[in-house]
Structure 1
Amino acid sequence: MAEATSLRKKHEDQGYILQKEPELTKAIVAALRQRKGHTAFQWVKGHQGHPLNELADELAGKAAKKRRGNCVELTIPANLNVTGARLTSMTQKLAYKAVRQMKSRETHPRPRTVKITTSESTSTNKHWSSLRKKDLITKETRQWMWTTLHDAYWIGNRWLEASMPADLQERAVCKHCNATEDMTHILFACDEPGREIVWKLLTEHWQTTGGPPIIPTWGSVLGAACVPFPNDKGARRVTMERRWTILATESAHLIWKLRCERVIGRENEPFNENEVRNRWYATLERRLDLERRYAALTEGRQRAKRLKTVDAIWTPLIQYNEDLPPNWVEKCGVLVGICKTPCRRSGQG
């Protein structure tokens, strides 16, 4: 409420440029100005048994559990709608931010981003911000996801452009399914066995750690860092969210790499099951090794926290984890085997 009261003049002078929810704040200010009497606010200390405060907490809790938010009326009467910013308050930073906001309103949303935000009920800004979580998504995978969401790979319909020769237009079709080979087909629909094996491995190991059933889709995979896993009380299970982000993004990127190797280097000869399994386990083992080394090299107060985080995320995925020493994370020389399968074992602590 401070945004609409004590900071009202500052934000109005700046044209609400730096506000995260400017339309909501402007609607609240307009509603206050429509009141004929003087309106005053009194701060109430929370969790002290005040009936209206307790009711507000209850309503907030119910709203947080909703998959989709309610539509809020934000219409402002013309005589109360304050627009623009004062020149005396304008700075280079504010001007740059205002230009970026105007440009973003003119930009059409990416179709793939719409798929993600629709299936997972997350905002576009939240999704794009999630790609910058360096401790969850590796640089290589992050670049692949960014390029995928911008439809920058030359696949599928890109080969069917009128300027393309007929022999190159054949590359638009998947040799296994005779369907247009776009990224949706590659990740979620192709009959090539490698894709199905990767998702099967992901599902088996995810459920082994106690994760709830989840189907790989645009939203749950490309938007993995935004997928919530609340407990019975509605609180976030952060460790489970981080584990899913790592498993889903690494698996999806592996499917893409296997596809490129098959089409470009193997003349569309599919990988056998053991090859795919070994590649998946090797991918996770490399990621685990990276996580452990990063945690072990962390200095200061964050070191213990980072070591504990890696332990919580990866221990359920380790084969024979009951035999691991207490400090297995920071002892990077200890070899571990990823999760409960006879197909691949690199040793045990």
Structure 2
Amino acid sequence: MTVYTDGSCEDNGKLTARAGSGIYIKPDHPNNRAIRVPGPLQSNQVGELVAVIAALQDIPPFVPITIATDSMYVIDGLTKHLGHWEDIGWLGVANSQFFQAAAYQLRRRSARTSFQWVKGHDNNPGNEAADALAKQGSEKDAADQIDLTVPTNFTIQGAKLSCLTQAIAYRGVRARRALTVTPRQGAVINLDRTRYGLEEVTHSLETDQQIWLSWHNKNLRAEVRQFTHKALHRTQKVGDYWTPIDGYQYRAICPFCKDTTESMEHIWLECDTPERALIWKLAKQLWPRAHGEWSNLPFGAILGSGKLTLPPAATHMPGSESDGGEIKQQRAGASRLLQILVSESAYLIWTLRCQRVIQGNTHSLAAINTRWTNAINRRLTTDRVTAAKLTRKPKFEQTVANTWKGTLRGEQQLPKDWMMNDEVLVGIRTVQAS
């Protein structure tokens, strides 16, 4: 018997993700199924694994079967990597609960089970039918019940010392700590503010994991990533941080506004300092009109700038999600530019605030304008140098071109190879905001 399995997920990677699994054998077969995946883990990969588990549970163990799937993730996990994962006690293995359940179902079978890879979306009738059932499953109102239990005598306890490395052991320690550590209340609040602030811009809800990963975004400079991480953790020494410390309560008040408690939201969006207003005006003026109007971002969207993306409806670019690769690349470039402008502007506002409050230094509007322009030009130069070095990766060159399109000085006169030509001077167009 050949069994086609597939997985599907709406809003994959988002808090609103809904995964489905499809099992198809032949028309009107009683074991054809459309499954809505239960539990908090919702992804394409989980959908693929649940389809295999359910198929193995439904078909009698004495019937030889071939599982045809377009997921090399499932095939490699259950054939190439299974022994190693069991040797290391499943430490650091994503979706380990589902892989263990699938391994148990395979081992309890008395007949031969084979895996066959089929190319997805290649007009294979069985694969197309399984894909349709998976999508149908993801749209079901209620989740199905899937048995993931593994008997004790089939459960591998712990890792083999001979296979244990320092890195694997460290992953195990971190995983155990994650189960016992209670998140800071401030961090939990910031996670929610970031999630719903981003939703106002991206129209999608991010998971906690994706928000934490946003500060790893390589589109942000290392200093900006560290600063964002501290702000998300709510460990910056501003505002209420000073309130319980005797003799330092005055530091909780904004030294410029005088009568307001200072916070990151106040520093970025509310403070009356001229540098704050100027920097956001500069970002707004550099933003190309072709990407749509610049909107004033909520606090959460600034805090999660590494996850900022432009939805199709938020741009003036033609087309929709069903458009070809060129439109999607342009939209990805616009999103990358937005991440750079917002993160660099927020970081500069914070830097100037610290220099003013801690060091007593003030800056003229002209000097602030120059510092912001230099910061954006440094990012442009970094992109240019990186693209020149990655000569074997033309995709990144196209990404850089899409990112800075509409922002360059004398852009119409620049040669097409401006990224690779060191003799061509490139900088952002001049913007002035008083």
**Residue 242 (structure 2) pairs with residue 164 (structure 1):** no
Judge conservation of contact 2:310–2:334 (CA < 8 Å) in 1. Answer: yes
Partner of 1:196: 277
**Cα 1:157/1:79, change in 2 over 3 Å:** same
**Residue 380 (structure 2) pairs with residue 292 (structure 1):** no
**Cα 1:343/1:255, change in 2 over 3 Å:** closer
Partner of 2:75: 2
Partner of 1:242: 336
Residue 310 (structure 1) shift = 3.0
Q: How large is the RMSD of aligned CA atoms in angstroms?
A: 4.2
Q: Identify the match of residue 205 of structure 1 among 279, 286, 302.
A: 286
- Separation (CA, whole Å) in 2 of partners of 1:115 and 1:160: 22
**Cα 1:178/1:330, change in 2 over 3 Å:** farther
- Separation (CA, whole Å) in 2 of partners of 1:63 and 1:184: 42
**Residue 238 (structure 2) pairs with residue 155 (structure 1):** yes
Q: Percent same amino acid among aligned pairs?
A: 29
Judge conservation of contact 1:130–1:226 (CA < 8 Å) in 2. Answer: yes
Judge conservation of contact 2:286–2:431 (CA < 8 Å) in 1. Answer: no
Q: Deviations over 1:105-160 (max 9, x none)?
A: 223343334543565433444444443444x2223322322332333332111111
Partner of 2:60: none
TM-score by length of 2: 0.61
- Separation (CA, whole Å) in 2 of partners of 1:305 and 1:45: 24
**Residue 211 (structure 2) pairs with residue 131 (structure 1):** no
Letter in 2 for 1:201: L
TM-score by length of 1: 0.74
Q: Which moved more, 1:200-209 or 1:16-25?
A: 200-209
Q: Which moved more, 1:138-147 or 1:274-283?
A: 274-283
Residue 185 (structure 1) shift = 2.1
After TM superposition, the structure 1 = structure 2 runs for residues 14-93 of structure 1, keeping only pairs within 5 Å, are: 14-26=88-100, 42-57=116-131, 76-77=148-149, 79=151, 82=155, 84-87=157-160, 90-92=163-165, 93=167
- Separation (CA, whole Å) in 2 of partners of 1:292 and 1:9: 44
Q: Which moved more, 1:83-92 or 1:250-259?
A: 83-92
- Separation (CA, whole Å) in 1 of partners of 2:100 and 2:287: 45
Judge conservation of contact 1:14–1:89 (CA < 8 Å) in 2. Answer: no
**Cα 1:14/1:261, change in 2 over 3 Å:** closer
- Separation (CA, whole Å) in 2 of partners of 1:254 and 1:71: 47
Partner of 2:179: 105
**Cα 1:63/1:154, change in 2 over 3 Å:** farther
Q: Identify the match of residue 405 of structure 2 among 291, 308, 315.
A: 315
**Cα 1:247/1:125, change in 2 over 3 Å:** same
- Separation (CA, whole Å) in 1 of partners of 2:117 and 2:125: 14
Partner of 1:326: 416
Letter in 2 for 1:180: T
Q: How many residues align?
A: 332
Q: Identify the match of residue 170 of structure 2 among 72, 90, 96.
A: 96
- Separation (CA, whole Å) in 1 of partners of 2:137 and 2:273: 43
User: What SS does the corresponding residue of 1:245 show, helix, strand or coil?
Assistant: helix
Q: Deviations over 1:151-177 (max 9, x none)?
A: 33321111112x421xx3111012416
Q: Deviations over 1:7-66 (max 9, x none)?
A: 5455345332231222343455567789999976554332232345225556778999x9
Q: Which moved more, 1:96-105 or 1:202-211?
A: 202-211
Partner of 2:28: none
Letter in 1 for 2:234: D
- Separation (CA, whole Å) in 1 of partners of 2:349 and 2:137: 37
Residue 224 (structure 1) shift = 2.6
| Structure 1 residues without counterparts, runs of 5 or longer | 345-349
Partner of 1:116: 194
Residue 183 (structure 1) shift = 1.5
**Cα 1:50/1:141, change in 2 over 3 Å:** same
Q: Deviations over 1:206-257 (max 9, x none)?
A: 3524157655245433333333445522657432232222112111101112
Q: Deviations over 1:72-111 (max 9, x none)?
A: 8677447478363353774134333212211222233433
Letter in 1 for 2:222: K
Structure number having the greater helix percentage = 1
Letter in 2 for 1:246: I
Judge conservation of contact 1:156–1:181 (CA < 8 Å) in 2. Answer: yes
User: What SS does the corresponding residue of 1:251 show, helix, strand or coil?
Assistant: helix
**Cα 1:320/1:300, change in 2 over 3 Å:** closer
Q: Which moved more, 1:283-292 or 1:95-104?
A: 283-292
- Separation (CA, whole Å) in 2 of partners of 1:178 and 1:71: 52
Q: Which moved more, 1:136-145 or 1:191-200?
A: 191-200
